[in-house]
Amino acid sequence: MKNCVKKEELFDYYNHSLENGRMSEIRQHLVNCKDCQKKLQTIEKNISIVKESLRNLNPTIECIPPLELINNKKPNKKKIKFSTILSWAAGICLIVAFSTLMRKKYTHNQKPVNDYEHYEYIPDLNDAWKQNSVSVTVYNKNGKPVNHQIIGE
Amino acid sequence: MSQNFDTFVLLIKHQHMPFEEIYHLYYIKIYQFVYRISFSEQDSEDIAQEVFLSLHNEIKKNKHPINTKAWLYRCALNKYININKKKKNIQLTDNINLYEKDFFNTIETDIIQNEQKKAIAKALSKLTPKEQVLLNLYNDEFSYKEISEILEIKPTSVGKTLSRVIEKLTTHIKSSSYEELCKERRIV
C-alpha cells in the first residue's frame, strides 16, 4: 500500500516519540491497515526479545558496597609508563657516563694544548718500525724539549 | 551514622535528592549497564565506584549535573572507553563466566543459563560498540533526547538506528541456538 507507515516511524510510534498529530494519524491508519498492524506486532515482539535477552545478561548483585568505601577511595592518579621511566634512566646514565669519561681525559693537572707548537717526527718511520721503536720529542714554545718518549720498545 | 556520612548528605539543586539516595537508586543500574557492555565483573564494579566518586566530587565543587541519570551513564561510558583503550584485543564472549553458579539452581539450569548468556553475547558482539551502547541505553528506558545527549548524535537519527539495530540483533539471536534454548525453558 502506498500510504503505509515505514518501519522506523512505527518504531517511533511504539515509543511515543512522534508529534501528537502524526501519532493520531498513524493510530487511525492502523485501525484499517492489517499490514501495518503486523509490522507493529513484529516490532513489539523484537523489542520484547531484545529486552528479555538483555535482562538475562544482567549479573546478580548480592549487595551494594557501603558508601564509606567510595568515600575512602582515592581517585586514580595518572600512572607513568614504564617505557618513559626507562628512557629517562637511559638519558641520565648517558650524561653521567659522558661526564666521567671527559673527566678522565682532561684532568686539572694537564697542560693546555697550545703549549705544544711543533713535534719532531723521525723521517724514516719504516726503519724505526723495523727496529720496533719510535721516539717522539715534544718541544715548548721557547724551543726547549718538554717531553721525550720512545714508543714500542 | 558516622562523620563520613555527613559529607555525603549533599543536596542536588535540581532534583533535591541526597547523594546517598542517588547512590542506592542508580548503583545497580550503572553496574549492570557497564557489565552488559564489558562482560567483566571487576571492570563494572570499578567503573561504577569511580562514577559515584566523581559525582561526589562534582557535588562538592557545587557543579550539580542537571540530569543526574544521564550524567552518570555518560560518565560510566567515558570511563569504560578509557579502560577499553588499554585492552584492545579482548573479545566480548571470552569474559563471560561459564561457571557462574546460583545456589537455588540445579547444575543443568546453570549450564542452560550460561549457554544463553554466551549466545546473547555472541549476537551482541556482531554489533558495533556504539550500537551496543545505544541498545543498552534504550533498554534502561532513556528518551531519544537523552540518548542523543549521551552518545552525542542527532535526536532524529536515534529512532532510525535503534529500529535497525533491534532488527539486526533479533536476527542474530534467532540464528543462534538461543531461541531453541528459550523454547525449552518457555521464556519466549
- The total number of structural domains in chain B stands at 2
Task: Return the pLDDT at B182.
Answer: 57
Domain that holds residue A145: 108-153
Domain final residue, candidates B89, B113, B148: B89
> Do B130 and B76 share a structural domain?
no
Q: DSSP 3-state assignment of A77?
A: coil
A92 lies in some domain: no
* Nearest-by-CA chain B residue for A57: B117
Facing residue for A12 by CB, picked from B57, B100, B159:
B159
Domain final residue, candidates B52, B68, B89: B89
For residue B124, what is the domain's CATH number? Answer: 1.10.10
Question: In this complex, how many residue pairs, one in chain A and one in chain B, have their CB atoms less than 8 Å apart?
Answer: 101
* Cell numbers at B95, concatenated: 569474559
Task: Return the pLDDT at B41.
Answer: 82
Write down the pTM of the prediction: 0.62
What is the spatial order of strands in the sheet that A145-151 belongs to? A119-120, A134-139, A145-151
Among A1-10, A102-111, B80-89, the least confident range: A102-111
- Other CB atoms within a 10 A radius of the CB of residue B56 amount to 20
Are the beta carbons of A15 and B144 separated by less than 8 Å?
A: yes
Are the beta carbons of A11 and B144 separated by less than 8 Å?
A: no
Give pLDDT tens digits for B104-120: 566 777 777 777 777 78
Facing residue for B24 by CB, picked from A46, A64, A76:
A64
What value, to the nearest 5°, has the Cα angle with vertex A95 and ends A94 and A100? 100
- The total number of structural domains in chain A stands at 2
> Do B132 and B95 share a structural domain?
yes
Helices within chain B (DSSP H only): 3-8, 19-38, 41-60, 68-86, 107-125, 129-139, 144-151, 155-175, 178-185
* Cell numbers at B42, concatenated: 571487576
Give pLDDT tens digits for A102-147: 776 666 666 555 555 555 555 666 665 666 667 778 888 888 888 8
Domain that holds residue B11: 1-89
Facing residue for A56 by CB, picked from B7, B53, B120:
B120
The CA distance from B107 to B175, in Å, is: 26
* Cell numbers at A117, concatenated: 707548537
Task: Name the minimum distance, in Å, from the CA of A99 to any CA of chain B.
Answer: 39
The CA distance from B105 to B110, in Å, is: 6
Q: What is the DSSP letter of A110?
A: P
Instruction: Find out whether B44 and B38 touch, Cβ atoms under 8 Å.
Output: yes
The CA distance from B47 to B53, in Å, is: 10
The CA distance from A53 to A19, in Å, is: 30
Which residues in chain B are contacts of A12 at CB distance < 8 A?
159
Facing residue for B144 by CB, picked from A17, A47, A76:
A17
Instruction: Find out whether B150 and B70 touch, Cβ atoms under 8 Å.
Output: yes
Smallest CA-to-CA distance from B113 within B53, B13, B182 is with B182
CB contact residues (below 8 A), chain B span 39-78, against chain A: 41, 44-45, 49-50, 52-54, 56-57
Task: Name the minimum distance, in Å, from the CA of A14 to any CA of chain B.
Answer: 10
For the purposes of burial, counting CB atoms within 10 Å of the CB of B115, is it exposed (0-12), middle (13-18) or buried (19 or more)? Answer: middle
Task: Name the minimum distance, in Å, from the CA of B97 to any CA of chain A.
Answer: 10
> Do B100 and B80 share a structural domain?
no
Q: Which is higher by pLDDT, A110 or B1?
A: A110
A38 lies in some domain: yes
Q: Which residues have CB under 8 Å from A73's CB, separation 6+? A: B49, B50, B53
* Cell numbers at A82, concatenated: 614504564
Q: Which is higher by pLDDT, B106 or B21?
A: B21
Domain final residue, candidates B28, B56, B89: B89
For residue B76, what is the domain's CATH number? Answer: 1.10.1740.10
Which residues in chain A are contacts of B52 at CB distance < 8 A?
70
